[in-house]
Structure 1
Amino acid sequence: MSHVCGVWLGRVSRAGDRLDRVPSPPHRGRTARSGSRRPKGRDVKSNLLRNVLVGAIAVLVAGLLVTSGFLVRVLTEGDQEAAAVSTGVTTASKAKDDPTNYALLAEMAKIIAEDYVDPDKATPEALRDAAIKGIFDALDPHSAYIDPDSYALSRDDFEGAFEGIGATVSKEGDFVVISTPLPNTPAEKAGIKAGDQVLEVDGQSAEGWSVQLAVTKIRGPIGSKVTIKVKHKDGKIETFTISRDKIAVESVSRLPLFGGVLRDAAGDEVKDIAYVRIRSFSRSTPQEVEKTLKDINASGAKGIILDVRSNPGGLLQETIQIADMFLDGGQIFYQQDRSGRETGAVARSGALTNLPIVILQDEFSASGAELLAGALQENGRAKVIGTRSFGKGTVNHARDLSNGGAVYVSIGRWLTPKHNQIEGKGITPDYEVQMTLEELEARKDIPAQRAIDMLRGRPLPPPSKPVATATPTASATPRR
């Protein structure tokens, strides 16, 4: 039956075209073939056959008229209804096109929750999270919604201690990577290495995770365990089960990055150059740096290596205080807000030290680390050695939310003293050094060796050729 109906519906237009062109009955008289008259018996039969055919055609035409009339009515009334609906939508859309009318989102969420074919993907939580993600995807990579648990963890970052495995992380492409494992922490003891790509956490794929989500998944109470699958820089994949602990972080250290003592290219211990590593800018960092500089001034050192490699940044005012310690006046940075208005900070006269400085940075040096490097470099106070830095030059402000979370939003951009943009560009080193995998595995600190030679006034070998670093694909500020 459906097949027959299909055939008829497919031919309605042809029948309709022919309704006003029903052929006239054939002439009674001569046929086209012979011109002779038909016998009467044959005429009777012909008349009978003609009447039957005419009756059948009449029935058929009547059926087609009814069918066509029904279709015409449907199409006509449908057009009228569509026009009426369209007019209503046009009128209503003027009100609903108001971009501040967020009730439309609630209306769509209700429809999706009721009608979507896969209800597990249309839960209120899933739709809310997707809407939040969509909002921040339209902004820069440094603005984000921070859920209550993550917000509580992030506040611990600047208090000098947190509970977790003891590593800083950042985002490269679709994955979070380990910026650096902190010394004497569960991460370092387990074998986690700088540059490790986090593939899974507790069996969950980490692809596409934000830094905030990764931090939330990796951190946890003291004594609890977390299983992390990583891909090392050499391509080897390993899985570690690590017990979390309380990580007390001293933001300033005199211990070289690769441990042991500071050595030059010849392998000799260096005693005339001071080494200072700043891991982050927390509330206690200015006091730690001030004490360290006083010790250095009393030691008779001839220069300072200031190491901010893998420093993810931190608190702005504390960063300004530290830059001020090395400068005797001069602009530290400019801050440009959404209207283009500029403010900034100027160093006071009187530095805590006048020793020459070389700053070490890498592709994980971000935010405050870049502000410090740019301030000292462009004021002629320091040379920078290493690779181009991360390129995070936004000023971010956390606004508390009613659920205990926060909106972390970019409210301005940092510019260097010479008005160079940091965001997306980073700080370009004066001398490029890109370490090889072999040098890393041999724990040879080539950038530090070049810094020693520079401070001693010795000639340097040709710099490394610029290579692609994490910076072009990095999408979020490094975090613990």
Structure 2
Amino acid sequence: MVMTKRGLVLGATAAMLTTVAVTGAGLHLSQSQAFFRESPKELVDEVWQIINQQYVDGTFNQVDWQAVRQEYLDRSYEDKQEAYQAINQMLDQLDDPYTRFMDPEAFKNLQIDTSGELTGVGIQIALDEETDYIRVVSPIEETPAYEAGILARDLIVAIDGKSTKGMELNDAVNLIRGKPGSNVTLTIQRREQEFDYEITRARIEVHPVKARLHETRQGGEIGYIRLNQFNSNAAQEMRTAIQEFEEKSVQGYILDLRSNPGGLLQASIQISRMWIDEGKIVSTVNRQGEVDAQRAKGNALTDQPLVVLVDGGSASASEILSGALQDQERAVIVGTQTFGKGLVQSVRGLGDGSGLAVTVAKYLTPDGRDINEEGIAPDVVSEISEAEQKALQRDRTQIGTLADPQFSEALSVLKQEIAKQNNSSQVGVSQ
């Protein structure tokens, strides 16, 4: 999930980590001025008004939104639970899984997604519109779900034996969450087979950046940086890694965004500026047109050749970064098609402690590409088999080594890019 400082959220999906954490730094939400007070109907109308003013599609996905207001305000509500139910019914008519109401508990969970301290199994999930089940966006490395063998794009068809078909995302989150040390069984459908995974919940500390030097057979060194998510620590850890590699005069970089489900938008922009010296990074467009464009600031940390690894679990902020690097011809993208989530949600706190996420815009790459449901296509396609992926999960020390087929491909591409740069430099000297 991607959040701006103003409360905009660009989700990899309409998902939250199936974990609980302390409040995440950098999460700023606009608090509603209309309070719940004694009338549940006030809350229903408040939600309607927010949608009416902010929703990305002025036709409300071909829904007569004025008629919806009349229908739901003509009702009587005995308590807030009836109001919550009515709000969900009202939003269902938009047929937009990313515009959703959150009761106070679910809203609290949303606010802690990017803190870096998690409790749960360590996966990000989404509603799958085609099957009506819950889909795994990505397992987080070094978490119980990852170690159990859960893969990006797995379908969760049952949680502790309860079918997830038609299940609300918040309900799935609440079923998967639980106390550290307790177990949850996820029934996974992968292709045509189903598997039961019994996973023990745990407290998880997520360090977003892992970096190491890789010495090539030719004697040179390249910097390998794996970014697991864009949380509040990601930009500073990335800056430190690049600066340390620059001091060691590496010849180039491999930036690994595989299975990175996203995070803070501001982190993706800051990290983009570390690699891109000039030009646009990302823009957001609402129903009135472009409302925001973020650009590089001429303070990139390196101009060395760069290869970026992506896969189907690379989503949201990962797609902003890889899309910017690709469009600005700053990097070669290697791997497989990314997840494809380019919608922007604005998250608001409501008067009774509940919350509302509203699709208010979409984001575009520097070349104006709308990647929603399309993703970023790699420049060099490099597949990995399920067996190879599982082998890497069993022994994570092999990720980013020559035992990692996609890393090997990225390294081959990087060597070509380094050679091109060296040849260009030599030509420049001879002239």
Q: Report the alpha carbon displacement of residue 332 of structure 1 after superposing the two structures with TM.
A: 0.9
The structure whose residues are more often helix, as a share, is 1
Amino acid at match of 2:367: K
Tell me the SS of whatever aligns to 1:429. Answer: coil
Name the CA distance, whole Å, in 1 between partners of 2:227 and 2:90.
36
Check conservation: 1:164, 1:247, Cα contact below 8 A.
Answer: yes
Partners of 1:253 and 1:277 within 8 A in 2: yes
The alignment partner of 2:193 has SS state of: coil
Q: CA deviation at 1:349?
A: 0.8
Aligned match of 1:213 in 166, 171, 175? 171
Q: Tell me the matched-pair count.
A: 343
Question: Counting strand residues as a fraction of each chain, which structure ranks higher?
Answer: 2
| TM-aligned CA deviation for residue 211 of structure 1 | 4.0
Describe the SS at the equivalent of 1:341: strand
Deviation at 1:408, TM superposition (A): 0.8
Deviations 1:92-133 (A, max 9, x none): xxxxx99267453365678xx9xxxxxxxxx99578536514
Which amino acid is the alignment partner of residue 243 of structure 1? T
For each residue in 1:224-268, what CA deviation from the matched residue of structure 2 results, as whole angstroms up to 9, or x when unmatched? 33232223457242241x33221111111237xxxxx9799xxx8
Paired with 1:126 and 1:190, the residues of 2 have a C-alpha distance of 39
Q: Where does residue 385 of structure 2 map in the other structure?
A: 436
Q: Is the 8 A contact 1:153 1:216 kept in 2?
A: no
TM-score for the superposition, normalised by structure 1: 0.64
Larger radius of gyration: 1
1:336 alignment partner, one of 266, 275, 285: 285
Question: How is 1:192-207 mapped onto 2 (pairs within 5 angstroms)?
Answer: 192-207=150-165
Q: Does the 8 A contact of 1:149 with 1:216 survive in 2?
A: no
Going from structure 1 to structure 2, the CA distance change for 1:168 and 1:343 (only over 3 Å counts) comes to closer
Task: Give the equivalent residue in structure 1 for 2:4.
Answer: none
Match of 2:298 among 338, 343, 349: 349
Indicate if the aligned counterparts of 2:305 and 2:417 stay in contact, CA closer than 8 A.
no
2:72 to 105, 121, 125: 105
SS in 1 for 2:416: coil
Q: How far apart are residue 373 of structure 1 and its match?
A: 0.7
Say yes or no: does 1:222 pair with 2:222.
Answer: no
Matched AA of 2:253? I
8 A Cα contact 1:109 1:127, kept in partner: no
- After superposition, the Cα gap between the structure-2 partners of 1:185 and 1:418, relative to the gap in structure 1 and judged at 3 Å, is closer
**For the structure 1 residues 310 and 129, does the alpha-carbon distance in structure 2 shift closer, same or farther, using more than 3 Å as the test?**
farther
Name the CA distance, whole Å, in 2 between partners of 1:133 and 1:386: 40
Q: Which residue of 1 aligns with 2:404?
A: 445
Structure 1 vs Structure 2 CA RMSD: 3.2
SS at match of 1:237: strand
Give the direction of change, closer, same or farther, for the CA distance of 1:270–1:428 in structure 2 (3 Å limit).
farther
- Please tell me the residue identity of whatever aligns with 1:105: Y
2-structure distance, mates of 1:335, 1:103: 32
Give 1:275's match in structure 2, choosing from 210, 221, 224.
Answer: 224
What secondary structure does 1:165 align onto? strand
Name 1:146's counterpart in structure 2.
102
Structure 1 outlier segments of 4+, above 4 Å: 106-110, 123-128, 261-264, 268-271
Q: Quickly say closer, same or farther: Cα 1:414–1:270, change in 2 above 3 A.
A: farther
Question: 1:153–1:162: 8 Å Cα contact kept in structure 2?
Answer: no
Q: Separation in 1 of the partners of 2:232 and 2:318?
A: 15
Unpaired runs of 5+ in structure 2?
Answer: 1-63, 393-402, 419-431
Distance change >3 Å, CA 168–CA 254, structure 1 → 2 = farther
Per-residue deviation, 1:216: 2.6
The one of 365, 372, 376 aligned to 2:325 = 376
- Return the offset for 1:351: 0.8
Q: Does structure 2 retain, via aligned residues, the 8 Å contact 1:195–1:233?
A: no
| Contact 2:279–2:328 (Cα < 8 Å) also in 1 | yes
1:40-98 C-alpha deviation (Å, 9 max, x unpaired): xxxxxxxxxxxxxxxxxxxxxxxxxxxxxxxxxxxxxxxxxxxxxxxxxxxxxxxxx99
Structure 1 residue identity aligned to 2:97: P
| Alignment-derived partner of residue 392 in structure 1 | 341
| CA deviation vs aligned residue, 1:411-442 (integer Å, no higher than 9, x gap) | 21111111111223221211122323343344
**Cross-structure match for 2:118:** 162
Which structure is higher in RCO with an 8 Å CA cutoff and minimum separation 6?
2
Aligned position for 1:361: 310
Q: CA deviation at 1:286?
A: 0.8
Secondary structure in 2 matching 1:166: strand
**Matched letter for residue 311 of structure 1:** N
1:142 Cα deviation after fit: 2.2
> C-alpha displacement at 1:458, in angstroms?
8.5
Residues of 1 paired with 2:218 and 2:81: CA distance?
Answer: 58
Question: In 2 relative to 1, CA 269–171 (structure 1 residues): closer, same or farther, beyond 3 Å?
Answer: farther
| Equivalent position amino acid for 1:162 in 2 | L
Identity of aligned residues (%): 32
Letter in 2 for 1:225: N
8 A contact 2:144–2:201 mirrored in 1? yes
One-letter code aligned to 2:72: L
1:249 to 191, 206, 217: 206
TM-score (norm 2): 0.71
Stretches of structure 1 lacking an aligned partner (at least 5 in a row):
1-96, 114-122, 256-260, 460-480
C-alpha contact 2:224 2:254 (8 A) present in aligned 1? yes
Return closer, same or farther for 1:130/1:231 CA change in 2, 3 Å cut-off.
farther
CA distance in 2, matches of 1:457, 1:410: 42
Match of 2:193 in 1: 235
**Which of the residues 345, 353, 374 maps onto 1:425?**
374
Question: What letter corresponds to residue 182 of structure 2 in structure 1?
Answer: S
